[in-house]
Amino acid sequence: MSADTLSPVRHRARAAVAAVEARTPAHRDRALDGLRALALLSVPAGHWLLGGFTRDPDGTLRNASPLASLDLFAPASWVLQMLGIFFLVGGYSSVLSYRRSRARGASTGAWLRGRLVRLGRPVLGVTAVWAALLPLLSAAGVPGGTLRTAAVLVVQPLWFVGIYAGVTALTPYCVRATRLLGPWAAAPLLGTVAVVDLLRYGPYAADVPSWVGLVNLLPGWLFAYQIGVSWGEGRLRDRHGGFLLGAGAALFALLLLVFHYPASMVGVPGADRTNSHPPSLLVLALAAVQCGAAVLLRERLARLLRRPALWAPVVAVNLAAMTIFCWHQSALLAVALPSAPLGALGGLTTAPDSLGWVLARLAWLPVFATALVALGSVTRRFDAPWTGVPRAGRTLAAVLAGAFAVYAFAVV
């Protein structure tokens, strides 16, 4: 583009940045929003980089992962898996929201309903849309195996919404735990996971039922949320952040080097053990490192985000949070499904088993991001209250979402 063509674009961009800055209240916690945006963007980045496809001769796409053959991706998962930050910020913001709600005289139930409805609307939207899409795609000749692959990918991030809703419901109890135990309120959760891991992987593991691991679901994901609640209650200082960072790093190294935990933070196809489903002690060690770093870097991040050009993208990401979270896998599929009949395309429909695939996949990331922006421009309406949607439309959406859930869980 010529300088004359770029000049109006730059002018509009500067005007938009200035408008965002002008509308930002002075008391806005920019560091918290920055951490949320960072954790949020790690979700599509992680799924787009740590997931791939293989293509059958008939064009059927099947899920595959570079983690199965490229060991170098395991350390990448330590950076891309930022659920510790996600839950930390969630706990912090939830306790502030809960406090404001109680100050207005609202009940705990009313506060919780509001939070859950905001989480549920976009999930209902994406699942209802895919329930309608699946038969249309089948009629258009998309193989059944590809449709099953698509369903798995769409559901893949949505489990987090259910977990997050569950820990959000425990916010009042997390507040009580903080007031009782202070910054140590998360310690019993870590201890519980440690005991369960000892049972699962210790000397008597052969005699322990497999369902015992499910005990880790609640304390494993509540750990960082509880730290966030303690932070929001003002009970977490820089010295606690330093302890979390140092102790978490030491525990992480110990579990990897001495107890030989799997290095990847996400599931690896064909592996006997996984750290994430249900969460292992290694997940909590990484969460402690992330939470400690966030506490220590908060003021620096806040100062950095005083720059309007950096702050405006953070605002944009936060405003589209649930859209990005719920629709990023659909954006990937929007690129991959039409490409499948064209043959094997490097980094898209070729097996993720080489460094060449990694480089090609990096080149595809802007395409996926563009598809997500295009999808988001249409689907963001699912995030807002459905006040203009008649009851029949909401009922139909619920029925479609239920039908998709039945199909998805049958093929997962």
Evaluate whether residue 283 is within a structural domain. Answer: no
Give me 361's structure tokens.
């996949």
What is the tens place of the pLDDT at every residue in 115-136?
999 999 999 999 999 999 999 9
What's the DSSP call for residue 276?
A: B
Q: Which of 4-18, 22-36, 58-72 is predicted least confidently? A: 4-18
Q: Which of 142-151, 265-274, 373-382 is predicted least confidently? A: 265-274
Encode burial over 18-56: b for 16+ CB neighbours within 10 A, e otherwise.
Answer: eebeeebeeeebbbbbbbbbbbbbbbbbbbbbbbbbbbe
Q: Which of 212-226, 304-318, 388-402 is predicted least confidently? A: 388-402
Spatial neighbors of 88 by CB under 8 A, at least 6 apart, are: 35, 224, 225, 227, 228, 231, 287, 290, 291, 294
Check residue 316 and give its pLDDT: 93
pLDDT at 4 over 70: no
Q: Is 145 left (phi over 0), alpha (psi -120 to 50) or beta?
A: alpha
pLDDT at 51 over 70: yes
Q: Which of 61-65, 272-276, 310-314 is predicted least confidently? A: 272-276
Q: Is 349 helix (H, G, I), strand (E, B) or coil?
A: coil
Q: What pTM does this model have?
A: 0.93
The domain total for the chain is 1
Check residue 100 and give its pLDDT: 93
What's the DSSP call for residue 266?
A: S
Output 387 or 163, whichever has higher pLDDT. Answer: 163
What's the whole-number mean pLDDT along residues 19-47? 91
Domain encompassing residue 115: 28-185+223-235+306-411
Evaluate whether residue 336 is within a structural domain. Answer: yes
What's the whole-number mean pLDDT along residues 80-85? 91
Widest CA span in the chain: 74
Give me 403's structure tokens.
């039908």
pLDDT at 228 over 60: yes
What's the whole-number mean pLDDT along residues 11-18? 83
Q: How confident is the model at residue 199 (pLDDT cuts 50, 70, 90)?
A: very high
Evaluate whether residue 332 is within a structural domain. Answer: yes
Residues facing 52 on adjacent strands: 64
Q: Which of 5-14, 231-240, 255-264 is predicted least confidently? A: 5-14
Evaluate whether residue 259 is within a structural domain. Answer: no
Give me 154's structure tokens.
């769409």
Q: How confident is the model at residue 300 (pLDDT cuts 50, 70, 90)?
A: very high
Q: What is the dihedral of CA 114, 119, 124, 125, to 10 degrees?
A: 110
* Positive or negative: CA dihedral 203, 204, 209, 215: negative
Evaluate whether residue 369 is within a structural domain. Answer: yes
- Give CA separation, 187 vs 183, 224, 251, 378, in Å: 9, 11, 14, 43
Q: Is 158 left (phi over 0), alpha (psi -120 to 50) or beta?
A: alpha
Check residue 256 and give its pLDDT: 95
* Positive or negative: CA dihedral 231, 235, 240, 244: negative
Q: How confident is the model at residue 348 (pLDDT cuts 50, 70, 90)?
A: very high
What is the tens place of the pLDDT at every residue in 332-346?
999 999 998 888 889
Check residue 3 and give its pLDDT: 53
What's the whole-number mean pLDDT along residues 72-101? 91
What is the tens place of the pLDDT at every residue in 210-227?
899 999 999 999 999 999
Evaluate whether residue 269 is within a structural domain. Answer: no
Residues facing 53 on adjacent strands: 63
Check residue 392 and give its pLDDT: 85
What is the tens place of the pLDDT at every residue in 260-284?
999 988 877 777 788 888 999 999 9
Provide the mean pLDDT of the chain: 91
Evaluate whether residue 292 is within a structural domain. Answer: no
What whole-number distance in Å separates Cα of residue 185 and Cα of residue 227? 8
What whole-number distance in Å separates Cα of residue 169 and Cα of residue 175? 12
pLDDT at 5 over 60: no
Helices assigned H by DSSP within 209-320: 217-232, 238-257, 281-304, 308-319
Output 372 or 28, whichever has higher pLDDT. Answer: 372
Evaluate whether residue 156 is within a structural domain. Answer: yes
Encode burial over 147-182: b for 16+ CB neighbours within 10 A, e otherwise.
Answer: bbbbbebbbbbbeebebbeebbebbeebbebbeeee
